[in-house]
Amino acid sequence: MFKNNVGGIDRILRILVGAGLLIGFVLNRDSAYSWLYLIGIIPLVTGLLATCPLYSLFGLNTCPMKR
């Protein structure tokens, strides 16, 4: 469906940040703005799938070249 364009450290950071934000949502569920933590779904999914639609739109690619 989408071409892999997220790789290496970029992918790891996306997964860690996304998971951290979702954990923050669970821990701070009573806060008025806790729903903002749900934005962590985006970096988590793009990190797990190794594809980012915005990277495709702007022609960016952090995956190593295949030989």
**pLDDT grade, residue 67 (50/70/90)?**
very low
What is the per-residue pLDDT across 38-58, written as a single tens digit (0 to 9) for each?
999 999 999 999 999 999 999
Residue 37 falls inside a structural domain: yes
d(CA 23, CA 38): 9
**Domain carrying residue 5:** 1-41
- State which amino acid sits at residue 47: G
Q: What is the pLDDT of residues 8-26, one digit of tens each?
A: 999 999 999 999 999 999 9
Spatial distance between the Cα atoms of 15 and 20, rounded to a whole number of angstroms: 8
Contact by Cβ (8 Å): 38, 44 = no
Report the domain count for the chain.
Answer: 1
- 13-46 core/surface letters (b: 16 or more CB in 10 A; e: else): ebbebbeebbebbeeeeeeeeeeebeebebbbeb
Asked if residue 7 belongs to a domain, the reply is yes
